[in-house]
Amino acid sequence: ETGVTQSPTHLIKTRGQQVTLRCSSQSGHNTVSWYQQALGQGPQFIFQYYREEENGRGNFPPRFSGLQFPNYSSELNVNALELDDSALYLCASSLGAGGPGSEQFFGPGTRLTVL
Amino acid sequence: GDSVTQMEGPVTLSEEACLTINCTYTATGYPSLFWYVQYPGEGLQLLLKATKADDKGSNKGFEATYRKETTSFHLEKGSVQVSDSAVYFCALTYTGNQFYFGTGTSLTVIP
């Protein structure tokens, strides 16, 4: 069973640029969630994709967008990067659209630095 | 709104000491509660969970009990090991799609 993988591991961008982060879900999982984890903070929910549709969104501006593909892998796109976007971006996969006690399986994250 | 508050870290303990990491939550309904652990350079891993009041989650010697009356889910272990050094996150969710995490508590166990 393959776990959640993310690419790239590290990324450096400059303010105003655009970035795309990628995630492959765990085998058999059809749901992907994205989180932003600033240094010294807990993960903050960005959004979730279930069967290629957005299925919930946190308090993030529209310049944060995503996609889910038929193989359930996913992309997170961030436009017009700001310094405060520097963080660890975590992808989590799960089976189904949720439910009490549903567990999410996390990838190792992509460390984004915006200069 | 819904939120999770964890005790401030960092926490430093000697091997075989007792551990308690406090977690309290604010919720409008009846969420499921989780503890996740993050080892250096890795993603979060589920440590334990509880889905309703008075449930006790346990794993690898760690325990936490869902206390509705005190809105708490404190993490405990009777004897910590060096390998337990990590950052611990308390979290809640209603539907399993959006998780609300605390800020994390860093634990260092020294031999």
Q: For residues B87 and A43, what is the distance between their CA atoms, to the nearest angstrom?
A: 12
Residues paired with A66 in a beta bridge: A76
- CB of B3 within 8 Å of a chain A CB? The answer is no
Q: pLDDT for B37-93, tens place per residue?
A: 999 888 899 999 999 999 999 999 999 999 999 999 999 999 999 999 999 999 998
| pLDDT of A27 over the 90 cut | no
Residue A82: per-residue pLDDT: 97
- Contact criterion met (CB < 8 Å) for B103 and A55: no
Residue A103: per-residue pLDDT: 82
- In the sheet that holds A74-78, the strands lie side by side as A5-7, A19-24, A74-78, A64-68
Q: Which residues of A touch B103 (CB under 8 A)?
A: 40-42
Residue A99: per-residue pLDDT: 66
Residues paired with A112 in a beta bridge: A11, A87
How, if at all, do strands A10-13 and A110-114 pair? parallel
Q: pLDDT for A53-106, tens place per residue?
A: 998 899 999 999 999 999 999 999 999 999 999 999 999 998 876 666 678 899
Q: For residues A93 and A50, what is the distance between their CA atoms, to the nearest angstrom?
A: 10
Q: pLDDT for B5-15, tens place per residue?
A: 998 889 999 99
- Contact criterion met (CB < 8 Å) for B101 and A100: no
User: CA-based Rg of chain A, rounded to a whole angstrom?
Assistant: 13
DSSP for B30-93, written as a single string = --EEEEEEE-TTS-EEEEEEE-STT-EEEETTEEEE-BTTTTB--EEESS--GGG-EEEEEEEE
